[in-house]
């Protein structure tokens, strides 16, 4: 056959196509963040962050949503961290392959792939109705806890694996038992990695909508207890944008959301890198 592209030319073309596609991807990210900031940063003010929501969202600020988000995320990590870290410890320190490990891993992997609307349905029927917690910070937080457990398990697993074997061996050689070795040597050594998982879990909790709107509800009053219904930032933003209540307020809320997500990702990235640098 006559026409054949010279491999070196082909290589050049492939390189530039891949480069272009990667640049487009990065530009999409910058566009999204830039667009939200361009329209939203101007809305931010001390008053916007510290005033209660008024007029169904047309007026006032987002203080009640900030408080609500904080508490929902707090409930989620308080519940999910011990479960996630405990699971990871068991997986790494107590199992070597075998069916138990496979079943536990399968559970975590499957849970990680479950879409948030399913968590919303589950939280609604289980926490809100079956356990009678109603639309509340507690129901929302518990639902999110179930959702972020796999994130914490996976990150913690990696962190614990990264702790060199020699740490454990030295501890054993000094006559320290397994339990004390894990809790006094392995756990402290892997703390930054574990923290990364927790921070990423908070990020997922803050950005989540479908799972919290049916469990924490959408009240824009300042929550007074764990049983108060609340409207997290993401839900507040969704309601403002979808019902066209107030575009400026929607942009402002989106900017706050993006800033939080950027900070969380940055913190997680820095922690993980410092941690990796220590052991590799």
Chain mean position to CA 132: 27
Among residues 49 and 129, whose Cβ is nearest to another protein?
129
- 8 token code pair: 């070196």
CA neighbor of 258 nearest in space, from 207, 224, 192, 185: 207
Among residues 89 and 185, whose Cβ is nearest to another protein?
89
Among residues 25 and 221, whose Cβ is nearest to another protein?
25
Q: Residue 249 CB, nearest distance to another protein (Å)?
A: 12
Cβ proximity of 15 and 27 under 8 Å? no
Residues 6 or more apart whose Cβ sits within 8 Å of residue 135: 128, 215, 216, 217, 219, 229
Please give the Cα distance from 143 to 205 (Å, whole number).
10
Interior angle at CA 30, CA 65 and CA 72, nearest 5:
20
Q: Residue 202 CB, nearest distance to another protein (Å)?
A: 11
Q: Residue 52 CB, nearest distance to another protein (Å)?
A: 21
Q: Residue 47 CB, nearest distance to another protein (Å)?
A: 23
Total residue length of the chain? 280
Helix (H) or strand (E) holding 111: helix 98-113
Among residues 101 and 225, whose Cβ is nearest to another protein?
101
Q: Residue 34 CB, nearest distance to another protein (Å)?
A: 11
Among residues 24 and 224, whose Cβ is nearest to another protein?
24
Q: Residue 224 CB, nearest distance to another protein (Å)?
A: 23
Helix (H) or strand (E) holding 31: helix 7-40
Interior angle at CA 246, CA 244 and CA 248, nearest 5:
130
Residue 215's φ and ψ, nearest 5 degrees, are -120, -40
Among residues 66 and 108, whose Cβ is nearest to another protein?
108
Q: Residue 31 CB, nearest distance to another protein (Å)?
A: 8
CB atoms within 10 A of CB 178: 13
**3 state DSSP class of 53:** strand
């Amino acid at each position: 056959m006559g026409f054949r592209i010279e491999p070196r030319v082909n290589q050049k073309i492939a390189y530039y196509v891949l480069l272009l596609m990667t640049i487009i991807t990065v530009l999409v990210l910058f566009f999204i963040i830039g667009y939200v900031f361009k329209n939203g940063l101007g809305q931010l003010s001390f008053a916007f962050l510290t005033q209660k929501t008024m007029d169904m969202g047309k007026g006032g600020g987002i203080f009640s949503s900030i408080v609500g988000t904080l508490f929902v995320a707090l409930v989620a990590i308080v519940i999910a961290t011990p479960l996630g870290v405990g699971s990871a410890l068991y997986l790494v320190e107590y199992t070597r392959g075998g069916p138990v490990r496979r079943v536990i891993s399968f559970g975590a992997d499957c849970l990680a792939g479950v879409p948030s609307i399913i968590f919303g349905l589950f939280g609604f029927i289980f926490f809100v109705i079956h356990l009678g917690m109603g639309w509340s910070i507690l129901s929302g937080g518990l639902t999110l806890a179930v959702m972020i457990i796999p994130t914490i398990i996976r990150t913690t697993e990696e962190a614990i694996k990264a702790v060199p074997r020699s740490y454990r061996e030295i501890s054993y050689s000094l006559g320290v038992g397994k339990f004390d070795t894990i809790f006094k040597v392995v756990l402290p050594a892997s703390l930054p990695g574990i923290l990364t998982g927790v921070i990423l879990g908070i990020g997922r909790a803050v950005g989540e909508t479908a799972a919290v709107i049916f469990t924490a509800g959408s009240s824009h009053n300042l929550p007074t207890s764990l049983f108060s219904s609340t409207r997290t930032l993401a839900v507040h933003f969704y309601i403002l944008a979808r019902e066209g209540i107030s575009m400026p307020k929607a942009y402002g809320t989106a900017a706050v959301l993006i800033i939080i997500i950027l900070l969380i990702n940055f913190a997680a990235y820095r922690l993980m890198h410092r941690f990796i640098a220590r052991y590799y």
